[in-house]
């Protein structure tokens, strides 16, 4: 089947496709309604489809839209997996859990963040403790998110960022911008000052799994880093060393990258969702990978994110900037082309099969 049929250009269409595919596959559906609406007044929810024995000791979990707008990709991969029967002949004592749109607000509003401008994948810190610091972000804050976005202000900001990269290296600049920060609620990659809605829902889902599953493998779909259509498997080698060893065994040692080892397209991050999953499913062996697909060059992607943060802090929905910035966000996080979608589906199937084989051998 042509890969394009699995993907949707809007959240509500993606949701309808997912629910139809899950129903056709005979999945049980559980819905977590979100309290807010989408830009066209559409209802928002995180939907969870479950296949296989409900009390299985092994679980394969997939997640889409951790970063809202990146859900065009993850949703398409989830729908393809359901429609093409990948979860039909599961190994014994194994269930599949597809979490669709864990951040439905960001998906519907073409944002990477949640309704409160929080990067869900930086939100899983202990909010009772002092927050991790990001000195690079603090130093560059006015250049990363300039208060005005006229041409001279943007050019001055760019000179500042270029100078930082020339002095400290491009990965240091990437970490300053994207590593996570807890000082600027209107800025980019803000980790939040409390667990956000999507954080609480994700913990609830994993706490439910902990009741029966002793081995949990997770594929968390992302976009925005790395070469076009390439699916990089990313996990921290430091935070979960046993999980790292399993992922390398299952996927092949050269297939998994770690920001801690400096061989990933991602900078080292704080407060990632894998931390929250491990806490909620305590006792289970967790093998959690982010499957990250490239779309456009990194600088273009970061520029779109900076514009989107400014938009939500300073502009109205009927302003001329609004539609243009939203189109830009979709363009950098969703490769709306047949070749890209084929690459996503092929890689998603490949990783799904190897995760299932790894779980079966665990």
The binding site for Zn ion (CB under 5 A) comprises 67, 70, 222
Whole-angstrom CA distances from 261 to 75, 266, 343 are 30, 11, 26
CB of 35 to Zn ion, least distance (A): 23
DSSP letter, residue 262: T
Identify the helix (H) or strand (E) that includes residue 121.
Answer: none
Whole-angstrom CA distances from 44 to 41, 105, 198, 256 are 9, 7, 12, 33
CB of 49 to Zn ion, least distance (A): 21
Ranked by CB distance to Zn ion, the top (closest) residue is 222
Report the alpha-carbon distance of residue 89 to residue 25 in Å, rounded: 12
Nearer to Zn ion, 62 or 94 (CB): 62
Beta-bridge mates of residue 97: 50, 61
CB of 3 to Zn ion, least distance (A): 21
Nearer to Zn ion, 87 or 344 (CB): 344
Nearer to Zn ion, 94 or 257 (CB): 257
CB of 175 to Zn ion, least distance (A): 15
Nearer to Zn ion, 189 or 310 (CB): 189
CB of 216 to Zn ion, least distance (A): 20
Report the alpha-carbon distance of residue 278 to residue 354 in Å, rounded: 21
Integer-rounded Cα Rg, in Å, for the chain is 19
Nearer to Zn ion, 25 or 269 (CB): 269
CB of 224 to Zn ion, least distance (A): 6
Q: Count CB-CB contacts under 10 A for residue 79.
A: 25
Secondary-structure percent of the chain, ordered helix, strand, coil, rounded to 5: 50, 20, 35
Nearer to Zn ion, 70 or 308 (CB): 70
Report the alpha-carbon distance of residue 38 to residue 133 in Å, rounded: 33
């Amino acid at each position: 089947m042509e890969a394009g049929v699995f993907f949707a250009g809007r959240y509500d269409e993606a949701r309808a496709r997912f629910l139809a595919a899950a129903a056709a596959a005979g999945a049980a559906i559980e819905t977590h309604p979100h309290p807010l609406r989408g830009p066209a007044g559409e209802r928002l929810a995180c939907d969870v489809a479950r296949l296989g024995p409900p009390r299985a000791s092994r679980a394969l979990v997939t997640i889409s839209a951790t970063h809202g707008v990146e859900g065009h990709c993850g949703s398409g991969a989830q729908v393809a997996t359901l429609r093409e029967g990948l979860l039909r002949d599961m190994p014994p004592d194994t269930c599949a859990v597809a979490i669709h749109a864990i951040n439905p607000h960001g998906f519907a509003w073409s944002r990477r963040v949640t309704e409160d401008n929080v990067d869900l994948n930086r939100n899983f810190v202990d909010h009772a403790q002092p927050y991790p610091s990001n000195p690079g972000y603090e130093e560059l804050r006015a250049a990363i998110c300039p208060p005005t976005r006229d041409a001279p202000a943007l050019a001055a900001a760019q000179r500042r960022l270029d100078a930082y990269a020339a002095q400290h290296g491009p990965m240091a600049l990437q970490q300053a911008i994207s590593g996570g920060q807890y000082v600027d609620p209107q800025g980019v990659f803000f980790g939040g000052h409390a667990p956000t809605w999507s954080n609480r829902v994700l913990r609830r889902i994993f706490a439910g799994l902990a009741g029966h599953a002793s081995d949990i493998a997770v594929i968390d779909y992302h976009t925005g880093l790395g070469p076009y259509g390439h699916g990089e498997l990313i996990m921290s080698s430091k935070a979960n060393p046993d999980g790292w060893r399993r992922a390398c065994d299952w996927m092949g040692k050269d297939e998994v990258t770690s920001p801690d080892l400096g061989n990933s397209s991602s900078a080292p991050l704080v407060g990632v969702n894998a931390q929250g999953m491990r806490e909620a499913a305590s006792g289970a062996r967790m093998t959690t990978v982010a499957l990250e697909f490239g779309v456009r060059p990194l600088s273009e992607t970061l520029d779109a994110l900076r514009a989107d943060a400014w938009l939500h802090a300073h502009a109205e929905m009927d302003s001329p900037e609004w539609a243009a910035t939203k189109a830009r966000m979709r363009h950098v996080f969703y490769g709306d082309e047949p070749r890209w979608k084929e690459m996503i589906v092929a890689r998603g199937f490949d990783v799904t099969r190897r995760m299932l084989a790894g779980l079966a051998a665990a």
